């Protein structure tokens, strides 16, 4: 098994073109030179600043045949993006002279390296020529030597949670990747990697990159040492199949599996695409953020590199150290994630076998306390970026629109089994119990009641306006990608009816609905906050109409006491709204189960995909979550 220790040190040995030593030969260049050493040096340095070594050669006595290539090779290992040279004092002694030269090399990501050197000149029949030597570039450089830059980085800055609690820790991991030039059977490689725990997307992405860069290490996924050992025979199969490559390293990972999977993310070997994006400060051996905040804040967390310039002989051994530059440490990233709440959320979702996502926020501040997206193997963060039909949880917003139109919880309503609007037949998803008013319709989550009220009392723009009141439709700027929801204006009566029950083209994320619940809890609409200093960290707030807040709280309490969330184990003091959202095709259509709400200062939203009703499905999960954080004194 091939294992390579991961470092972040740039060390490239360039083609060993032997730089021939210039002797005291009396041959003169064809042309070039002038009547004074000062004039020769001015012309020589002007060509040097242009990087025109062919032109430089005409001012050199007896230039070697490979002068134009061997000269630049001395400094190629610096990877400088610019170099300037200036002539200082020229001292003449008879037929010889010396010129002081100041060179400045711009080392990418590090700064300027200034070098003082001396160039010798000789008078050949009133024709001054440069007696060139590699030491004219740097005093310690001899023929055959090269200058080389080795970059170093300070330890990566931490990602912190609430109260400055670290969200990352170091542990041994095995990075499983592929090298394109070794792959014999792409299909077999793909099947083996997926069987070991990689996703199909991770494998296909790496294989595509390996085709473009066959000699590169393309990471696929990473495992802790413990997990790698657990693979047993699968690990042996991974090792044996041509094309797989392993790198063993000590790398940092998030303190919980859920945070590592999405929100905090992971670090790992740089890919060819990332190398191109991040620029020349990085190399093929760099370790960088791959997902989540680790990726989004790569430059802030990594800081800037330092480095050491060394003189390296033709045998690859270091001759001398020319300069040392200290790296600039990165800056710690402070987030609102509470590890206790995060662990409680992950534990509550642990028994769930369907795709699911959950978000918990501190209602009084809008700060995200926890986020979980299942399956963890999928890189897409459904909790933050998922676009789901909200189903009956949207009735919080529809109720808001109805109250702003003059209705109250006691406004009359009925709950027929079906209701036809513009030729489209609507059914009840969660219950057909008789209702007398809006409050009962909310408690029982009667679709036809809400459709009837919306059709008679709302305008097409009413529901998008009510959604906007809660911030839905505005893209969050919290430090990581998140979906802000979308509620298009209904084009006809059927679309208005479907929108009123969270269907049609209405889509939201769990984050969006957690913030809706938080707004009901506090009476104030806030933007979600995650990273300190992100644009939304200080975003303006606005109040919900007081009457709306009071009445929604009463109705959400009744949902738990006697409605669609009753009997699911939710602890006392929980306010909630259930939802069942249809999507896709088929008969019956698949459904997502929703539950949103709050208890104390913690608001939440959860969706479990492809299951039944929100109350029976999500209630026990949220009950486990709330009991856990309640025991910790957090809710």
User: For residue 317, is it within any domain?
Assistant: no
Residue 22: per-residue pLDDT: 30
DSSP characters over 26-55: ----SS--BSSHHHHHHHHHHHHHHT-HHH
Angle formed at CA 355 by CA 351 and CA 358, multiple of 5 degrees: 80
Q: Is 407 left (phi over 0), alpha (psi -120 to 50) or beta?
A: beta
Domain assignment of residue 184, given as a range: 159-306+327-334
pLDDT value of position 107 = 95
Specify whether the CB–CB gap between 503 and 397 falls below 8 A: no
DSSP 367-404: EEEEEEEESTTS-S-HHHH--B--GGGGHHHHHHHHHH
Confidence of residue 280 (pLDDT cuts 50, 70, 90): confident
Residues 291 and 378 in one domain: no
> Which tokens belong to 536?
């939304």
What element of type H or E holds 516? helix 510-522
Is-contact 136 310, C-beta < 8 A?
no
- From 143, 174, 190, the end of a domain falls on 143
Instruction: Based on the fold, state whether residues 70 and 202 are members of the same structural domain.
Output: no
Beta-strand ranges (E) seen in 108-187 are 111-123, 128-131, 146-152, 159-160, 168-179
Tell me what pLDDT residue 27 has: 34
- Residue 313 domain flag: no
Distance between CA atoms of residues 513 and 536, nearest Å = 17
1 located within any domain = no
As a whole number, the mean pLDDT across the chain is 91
Judge if the upstream peptide bond of residue 385 is cis by omega within 30 degrees of 0: no
Q: What is the largest CA-CA distance in the chain?
A: 115
Task: Please provide the distance, in angstroms rounded to a whole number, between the alpha carbons at the two ends of the chain.
Answer: 50
Would residue 3 count as lying in a domain? Answer: no
Mean pLDDT over residues 591-597, rounded? 97
Are 596 and 467 in a shared domain?
A: yes
Mean pLDDT, to the nearest integer, of 557-584?
Answer: 96
Domain membership of residue 606 (yes or no) is yes
633 Cβ contact partners less than 8 Å away, ≥ 6 residues apart: none
In this structure, are 167 and 108 located in the same domain? no
Share of the chain above pLDDT 70, in %: 93
Residue 143, judged by CB atoms within 10 A of its CB (0-12, 13-18, 19+), counts as middle
Residues 508 and 361 placed together within one structural domain of the fold: yes
Average pLDDT over residues 163-177: 89
Distance CA 15, CA 18 (A): 9
Q: Which tokens hold the place of 294?
A: 């680790």
> Do 414 and 557 reside in the same domain of the chain?
yes
Task: Among 143, 169, 202, give the residue marking a domain's end.
Answer: 143
pLDDT of residue 161: 98
Residue 21, pLDDT > 50, answer: no
Distances (CA, A) of 63 to 15, 28, 557, 586: 20, 9, 91, 81
- 39-96 residue pLDDT tens: 999 999 999 999 999 999 999 999 999 999 999 999 999 999 999 999 999 999 999 9
CATH code of the domain covering residue 94: 3.10.450.100
Please state at what angle helix 395-404 crosses helix 510-522, rounded to 10 degrees. 50
> Can you give the pLDDT at residue 469?
98
pLDDT in tens, 404-448: 999 999 999 999 999 999 999 999 976 667 899 999 999 999 999
Number of domains in the chain: 3
Predicted TM-score (pTM) of this structure: 0.80
Whether 482 is covered by a domain: the verdict is yes
Same structural domain, 181 and 54? no
Residues 291 and 212 in one domain: yes
For residue 173, is it within any domain?
A: yes
**Do residues 129 and 241 both lie within one domain?**
no
- Based on the fold, state whether residues 470 and 351 are members of the same structural domain: yes
pLDDT on residue 405: 97
The answer to whether residues 521 and 380 belong to one domain is: yes
Task: Place 151 in a pLDDT band, splitting at 50, 70 and 90.
Answer: very high
Q: Mean pLDDT across the stretch 291-314?
A: 96
- The answer on 206 and 65 residing in a single domain is no
Q: At which of 117, 143, 169 does a domain end? A: 143
* Residue 70 placed within a domain: yes
The set of residues, in sequence order, having a beta carbon less than 8 Å from that of 111 and lying 6+ positions away, is: 325
Question: Tell me, what CATH number does 603's domain have?
Answer: 3.40.710.10
Q: Where are the beta strands (DSSP E) in 270-408?
A: 287-289, 306-312, 318-325, 333-334, 356-362, 367-374
Q: Where are the strands (E) in 80-237, listed by range?
A: 80-93, 96-107, 111-123, 128-131, 146-152, 159-160, 168-179, 217-224
Query: Residue 351: its pLDDT value, please?
Result: 96
């Amino acid at each position: 098994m091939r294992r390579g220790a991961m470092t972040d040190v740039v060390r490239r040995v360039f083609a060993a073109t032997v730089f021939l030593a210039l002797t005291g030969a009396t041959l003169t260049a064809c042309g070039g030179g002038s009547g004074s050493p000062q004039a020769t040096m001015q012309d020589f340095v002007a060509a040097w600043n242009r990087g025109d070594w062919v032109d430089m050669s005409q001012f050199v006595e007896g230039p070697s045949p490979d002068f134009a290539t061997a000269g630049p090779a001395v400094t190629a290992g610096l990877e400088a993006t610019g170099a300037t040279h200036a002539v200082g004092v020229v001292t003449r002694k008879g037929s010889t002279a010396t010129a002081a030269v100041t060179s400045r090399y711009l080392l990418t990501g590090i700064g300027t390296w200034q070098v003082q050197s001396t160039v010798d000149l000789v008078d050949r029949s009133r024709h001054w020529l440069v007696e060139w030597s590699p030491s004219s570039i740097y005093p310690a450089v001899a023929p055959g030597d090269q200058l080389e830059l080795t970059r170093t980085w300070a330890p990566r800055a931490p990602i912190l949670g609430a109260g400055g609690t670290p969200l990352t820790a170091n542990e041994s991991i095995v990075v499983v990747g592929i090298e394109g030039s070794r792959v014999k059977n792409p299909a077999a490689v793909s099947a083996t990697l997926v069987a070991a725990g990689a996703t199909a997307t991770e494998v296909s992405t790496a294989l595509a990159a390996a085709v473009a860069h066959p000699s590169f290490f393309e990471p696929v996924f990473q495992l802790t040492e413990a997990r790698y050992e657990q693979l047993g025979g699968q690990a042996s199969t991974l090792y044996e199949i041509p094309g797989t490559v392993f790198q063993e390293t000590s790398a940092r990972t998030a303190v919980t599996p859920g945070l590592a999977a999405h929100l905090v993310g992971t670090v790992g070997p740089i890919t060819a695409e990332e190398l191109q994006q991040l620029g020349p400060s990085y190399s093929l051996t760099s370790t960088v953020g791959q997902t989540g905040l680790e990726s989004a804040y790569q430059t802030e967390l990594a800081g800037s590199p330092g480095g050491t310039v060394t003189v390296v002989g033709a045998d690859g051994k270091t001759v001398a150290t020319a300069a040392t530059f200290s790296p600039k440490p990165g800056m710690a990233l402070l987030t609102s994630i509470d590890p206790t709440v995060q662990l409680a959320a992950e534990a509550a979702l642990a028994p769930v076998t369907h795709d699911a996502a959950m978000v918990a926020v501190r209602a009084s501040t809008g700060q995200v306390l926890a986020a979980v997206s299942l399956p963890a193997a999928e890189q897409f963060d459904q909790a933050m970026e998922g676009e789901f039909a909200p189903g009956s949880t949207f009735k919080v917003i529809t109720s808001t629109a109805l109250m702003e139109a003059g209705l109250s919880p006691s406004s009359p309503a009925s709950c027929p089994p079906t209701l036809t609007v513009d030729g489209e037949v609507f059914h009840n998803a969660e219950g057909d119990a008789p209702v007398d008013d809006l409050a009962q319709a909310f408690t029982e989550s009667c679709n036809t009641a809400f459709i009837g009220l919306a059709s008679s009392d709302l305008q097409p723009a009413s529901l998008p306006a009510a959604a906007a009141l809660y911030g839905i439709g505005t893209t969050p700027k919290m430090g990581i990608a998140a979906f802000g929801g979308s509620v298009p204006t209904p084009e006809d009566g059927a679309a208005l009816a479907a929108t009123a029950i969270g269907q049609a083209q209405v889509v939201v994320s769990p984050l969006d609905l957690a913030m809706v619940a938080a707004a009901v809890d506090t009476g104030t609409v806030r933007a979600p906050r995650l990273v300190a200093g992100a644009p939304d960290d200080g975003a303006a707030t606005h109040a919900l109409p007081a009457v709306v807040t009071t009445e929604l709280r009463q109705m959400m309490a009744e949902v738990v006491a006697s409605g669609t969330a009753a009997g699911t184990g939710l602890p006392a003091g929980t306010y909630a709204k259930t939802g069942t959202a249809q999507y896709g095709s088929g008969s019956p259509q698949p459904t997502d189960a929703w539950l949103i709400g709050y208890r104390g200062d913690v608001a939440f939203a959860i969706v479990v995909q492809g299951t039944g009703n929100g109350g029976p499905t999500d209630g026990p999960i949220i009950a486990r979550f709330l009991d856990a954080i309640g025991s910790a004194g957090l809710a």
